[in-house]
Amino acid sequence: MKIANVLIATSLVAFMSGCASKDKEVFNMPAIYWYEQIAKEIKSQDLEKADSMYTSLASEHVESPLLPEAMLMLANAHSQDEEYILANFYLDEYLRRYGNKENADHVRYMKIKANYEAFPNPNRNQQLLLDTITQTKEFLVRYPNSKFAPLAQSILVRLQMGEYFLNENIHSLYTRIDKPEVAKIYEEKLNTSSVKEAKIVEPTIPWYRSWFEKQ
């Protein structure tokens, strides 16, 4: 009987706790409330909660003028926290919904910068490097007069230096393992590189750290 009473009491406590937690959930609040909560959670560095608050803002206030500001705020926060995939998610959403002639160059530059800054992390990869080079070249063609163009050009040069050292390493690898056909492909990449004639001092630490850690 005592065991049964304990089980009943435990179940009752669990039920009441569940009810209490549900009572704490907030719905149908003004857009400014969610926006301020997003800012508060970003300030306290709880980006998971900030993302949750954004979901509430986006679902309850689809046309709120605070939405684009919240997107950029979260993109910057995730980028600073080295969560570049999430940063790009918000930037893509912003471009899709609010991109125009006045802001598109800034947001696209932010995407390039987020990708560039992702390289010091363990999840960097060759395809991201190549894709970012392509995106940066497209940006410079599309927005030659943008105030962000010199910054994008600086990023492009560093990306190309990284690509050059990567190709050098791959060429050396295929040469050592006696794969002349593949080694020839990378030799051609090195010979046609735009930074081939540059006076590049080979880094004493891995190229992906040396060339991508600073902007």
pLDDT tens column, 157-180: 988 888 888 888 888 888 888 888
For residues 38 and 56, the answer to whether their CB atoms sit within 8 Å is: no
Residues 6 or more apart whose Cβ sits within 8 Å of residue 4: none
Task: Specify the 3-state DSSP secondary structure of 164.
Answer: helix
State how far the Cα of 36 lies from the Cα of 160, in Å rounded to an integer.
41
Does 94 share its domain with 129? Answer: no
Region 190-205: what's the mean pLDDT? 68
pLDDT band at 124; cut points 50, 70, 90: low
Full residue range of the structural domain in which residue 187 is found: 125-215
Q: How far, in Å, CA of 84 to CA of 199, rounded?
A: 31
CATH of the domain at 48: 1.25.40
Phi, psi angle pair for 146, to nearest 5°: -65, 145
Question: Between 43 and 116, where is the model more confident?
Answer: 43
What are the DSSP calls for 75-88, one per residue?
HHHHHHTT-HHHHH
| 90 and 130 share one domain | no
Whether 4 is in a domain gets the answer no
11 domain residue, yes or no: no
Task: Give the tens place of pLDDT for each residue, 41-69.
Answer: 999 999 999 999 999 999 999 999 999 99
Tens of pLDDT, residues 75-112: 999 988 888 889 999 999 999 999 898 899 999 999 99
Is residue 117 a part of any domain in this protein? no
Output the pLDDT for position 182.
Answer: 84
Split into its structural domains, the chain has a count of: 2
Question: How far is C-alpha 88 from the geometric centre of its chain's CA atoms?
Answer: 5
How far apart, in Å, do the first and last CA atoms of the chain sit?
A: 71
Contact present, 132 and 119 (Cβ < 8 Å): no
Q: Tell me the percentage of the chain whose pLDDT exceeds 70.
A: 77
| Tokens 């020839």 -> residue | 184
Among 82, 131, 80, 75, smallest CA distance to 103 is for 75
**Residue that has been written with the tokens 């918000």 in this structure:** 90
Give the pLDDT of residue 185: 87
Q: Is residue 89 part of a domain?
A: yes
Most confident by average pLDDT, 2-6, 16-20, 33-37, 189-193: 33-37
Q: What pLDDT does 209 receive?
A: 52
Decide which of 212 and 193 is more confident: 193
Residue 125 has pLDDT above 60, yes or no: yes
In a domain, residue 115? The reply is no
Integer Cα distance of 128 and 132 in angstroms = 6
Residue 2: Cβ-neighbour burial (10 angstroms; 0-12, 13-18, 19+): exposed
State the pLDDT at residue 203. 55
In a domain, 2, yes or no: no
DSSP category for residue 1: -
What pLDDT band is residue 21 in, cutting at 50, 70 and 90?
A: very low
Question: Does 180 map to a domain?
Answer: yes
